[in-house]
Copies of this chain bind each other. A is one copy, B any other.
Amino acid sequence: MIKINENYLKLEADYLFASVASRVREFEQKNPGRELVWMGIGDVTQPLPPACIVAFHRAVAELAQRQSFRGYGPSAGYGFLREAIARHDFQARGADISADEVFVSDGAKCDSANVQELFARELRLAIPDPVYPVYLESNVMAGRTGVARDGRYEGVTYLEATPANGYVPDLPAAPVDLIYLCFPNNPTGATATREQLGNWVDWARANRALILFDAAYESYIRDPDLPHSIYEIPGAQQVAIEFRSYSKSAGFTGVRCAYTVVPAACTAYTADGAPVALRELWRRRQDTKSNGVSYPVQRAAEALYGAEGQRQVRALTDGYLANAACALDALGRLGYRCSGGSNSPYIWLQVEGDSWTFFDRLLQRHGVVCTPGAGFGRCGEHHVRLSAFSSLAHTREAMRRMAGMH
């Protein structure tokens, strides 16, 4: 008899964004013609940078000719892209990362969900609360947690991000082995200073723990004192894997390109304590389970590193940050307490009552879609996430409608 992985049955409900989408679909069916303003799911709305489009077309045209046709690419991504990444995203910021430590993929979601496969089933897991649900759910599916009670899975150390700590979790009080961190944070918009990240790196080194650092939103950082990469912190290469994405920097949510950095020095251990290079394990995983990313997509991503591409990415993210600033200003005037909204495309809003009720009220009465904070963890309760990925006009309209709630 073929038996299922019963860990799936521990998952509490549908994947958060799928639930939001289904409530919105239901609303739309009942209210045809009612115009919604989307401030919820973190999807971008602006077109791809022109430099990408040119490179994308050129690469598609290459595939039309036998002489320039390319089949399977390297599962870790083409050298032209990995070299550009290492140079621009790391070496230019003083982080000593080389192209052979970069693994291109079709999404930071996949990578951050798949990376746990490299680790022992029995480990002490530390996951922020609130946070992007994929970190936790991928570990639930892998059997690293007990069942959920009152919204929390047994066997997980939750790193609480609350108004009290400025949404930057404190170091764990007891030892843990695997730590997920995300800065600028999804959903709170909080950023971590060099000193705060340094404390995490020191803690991980002292405890032989590993940090999985999600930097999918680093392109929104404008404060020159904030680190973009954890590898800007000395000693991080031994104890951290970093995830990056073009989804939010260049509008690649529908195009699909991202990458993961596993430094050569990054180490985990056998049960006997023998060190193992994680880069070789990740390479083996990717060679076995992936055939890499679409060639034209990799060319489109490469174009982001040219002078023109860099200017266009800056303009794109500046535009979204202008939306965030507009919303932050309006929400402040409405009396909301907010985190994020600068150095981040997300605004994390404290609300009265529970967050799904607020979500429903905002949707039903005002036609504005937000993301309920409770979907990101227990500490997300009494919060909702607004994103800046709409247009300025829609952002203003959403703020006008939210003013009507008061």
Interface of A toward B, CB cutoff 8 Å: 1-6, 8-9, 11, 14-15, 18, 41, 43-48, 50, 53, 56-57, 60-61, 63-66, 69-73, 106-107, 109-110, 113-114, 117-123, 133-134, 137-138, 141, 143, 177-178, 207-210, 251, 253-256, 268-271, 273, 276, 278, 281, 284-285, 287-297
Contact = CB atoms under 8 A, between A and B. Distances in A.
Given A48-B64, A57-B60, 14 more contacts: A1-B209, A3-B177, A3-B268, A4-B269, A5-B120, A15-B284, A69-B254, A72-B253, A106-B291, A137-B288, A253-B291, A254-B295, A255-B295, A256-B291
A71 B44 contact: yes
B284 A11 contact: yes
Given A57-B60, A63-B48, A276-B4, A70 B254 contact: yes
Contact of A123 (B3, B113, B270, B278): B3
A110 B289 contact: yes
Contacts of A118: 4-5, 8
A111 to B, nearest CB: 10
A134 B118 CA distance: 17
A118 B141 CA distance: 9
Contact of A113 (B133, B138, B269, B289): B289
Nearest to A273: B1
Contacts of A8: 118, 281, 284-285
Contact of A50 (B64, B69, B73): B64
Given A47-B65, A53-B64, A4 B268 contact: yes
A45 B63 contact: no
Contacts of A178: 2
Contact of A294 (B122, B269, B271, B294): B294
A262 to B, nearest CB: 13
A271 B1 CA distance: 9
A18 B63 contact: no
Instruction: List the number of copies, as a whole number.
Output: 2
Contacts of A46: 66, 69
A50 B63 CA distance: 10
A270 B6 contact: yes
A80 B251 CA distance: 22
B256 A294 contact: yes
A352 to B, nearest CB: 30
A207 to B, nearest CB: 8
B117 A141 contact: yes
A292 B256 contact: yes
Contacts of A63: 47-48, 53, 56, 251, 254-255
List the 9 closest pairs (A to B, CB-CB), nearest first: A3-B120, A43-B71, A113-B289, A71-B253, A2-B210, A15-B287, A1-B208, A254-B295, A53-B64
